[in-house]
Amino acid sequence: MTATPMPTAPSPAIEAVALRKDFGEIHAVDGIDMSLSPGRIYGLLGPNGSGKTTLIRLLTGLASATSGSVKVLGVAMPSRSNLARIGYMTQSDGIYPELSVWENLSFFATLYGQTDKAKLHATLELVELDTRAGTPAQDLSGGMRRRLSMACALAHHPSVIFLDEPTVGVDPALRVQFWDHFHRLAADGATLLVSSHVMDEADRCDELLFIRDGHVLAQGTPAELRTRAGTQNLETAFLSFATQPRAGSAASATPGQPKESHR
Ligand code: ADP
Ligand code: MG
Which residues are within 8 A (CB) of 155 and not within 5 positions of it... i.e. 6 or more apart? 105, 108, 109, 112, 114, 119, 120, 123
Does some domain include residue 247?
no
What tens digit of pLDDT does each residue of 80-123 get? Answer: 889 999 999 998 878 999 999 999 999 999 988 888 999 999 99
Ligand 2 centroid distance, CA of 90 (Å): 9
Ligand 1 centroid distance, CA of 196 (Å): 15
Ligand 1 centroid distance, CA of 117 (Å): 37
259 pLDDT band (50/70/90 cuts)?
very low
Separation in Å, CA 109 to CA 18, 26, 115, 133:
33, 35, 7, 15
Does some domain include residue 103?
yes
Separation in Å, CA 241 to CA 228, 245, 247:
9, 8, 10
Q: Which pLDDT value is given to residue 123?
A: 93
Q: What are the pocket residues of ligand 1 if the criterion is a CB atom closer than 6 Å to any ligand atom?
A: 23, 26, 28, 46, 48-54
Ligand 1 centroid distance, CA of 51 (Å): 6
Does some domain include residue 65?
no
What is the chain's length? 263
Ligand 1 centroid distance, CA of 54 (Å): 6
In this model, does residue 7 exceed pLDDT 50? yes
Ligand 2 centroid distance, CA of 163 (Å): 10
Q: Which pLDDT value is given to residue 255?
A: 41
Most confident of 124-128, 198-202, 222-226: 222-226
Is pLDDT larger for residue 263 or for residue 128? 128
Question: What burial class does residue 244 get, using C-beta atoms within 10 Å of its C-beta: 0-12 exposed, 13-18 middle, 19+ buried?
Answer: exposed
Percent of the chain whose predicted confidence (pLDDT) is above 90: 72
Hey, whose CA ends up nearest to atom 7 of ligand 1? 53
Hey, whose CA ends up nearest to atom 17 of ligand 1? 28
What tens digit of pLDDT does each residue of 169-199 get? Answer: 788 888 898 899 999 999 999 999 999 998 8
130 pLDDT band (50/70/90 cuts)?
very high
Does some domain include residue 141?
yes
Mutate to test the pocket of ligand 1, among 19, 23, 55, 58 (most ligand atoms within 8 A of CB): 23
261 pLDDT band (50/70/90 cuts)?
very low
Domain ranges, residue 158: 39-60+80-242
Q: Are 101 and 134 in contact (CB under 8 A)?
A: yes
Q: Are 61 and 82 in contact (CB under 8 A)?
A: yes
Q: What is the pTM of this model?
A: 0.89
Does some domain include residue 249?
no
Does some domain include residue 221?
yes
Work out which ligand 1 atom sits closest to the CA atom of 165.
2
Is pLDDT larger for residue 93 or for residue 126? 126
Task: Output the domain CATH number for residue 196.
Answer: 3.40.50.300
Three-point CA angle 242, 163, 160, nearest 5°: 105
Does some domain include residue 125?
yes
Q: How many CB atoms lie within 10 A of CB 100?
A: 19
- What is the total count of domains within the chain? 1
263 pLDDT band (50/70/90 cuts)?
very low
In this model, does residue 260 exceed pLDDT 50? no
Sheet with 26-36, side-by-side order of all strands: 26-36, 14-23, 67-72, 75-76
Work out which ligand 1 atom sits closest to the CA atom of 164.
2
2 pLDDT band (50/70/90 cuts)?
low
246 pLDDT band (50/70/90 cuts)?
confident
Mutate to test the pocket of ligand 1, among 22, 54, 238 (most ligand atoms within 8 A of CB): 54
Q: Which pLDDT value is given to residue 55?
A: 98
In this model, does residue 251 exceed pLDDT 60? no
Does some domain include residue 67?
no
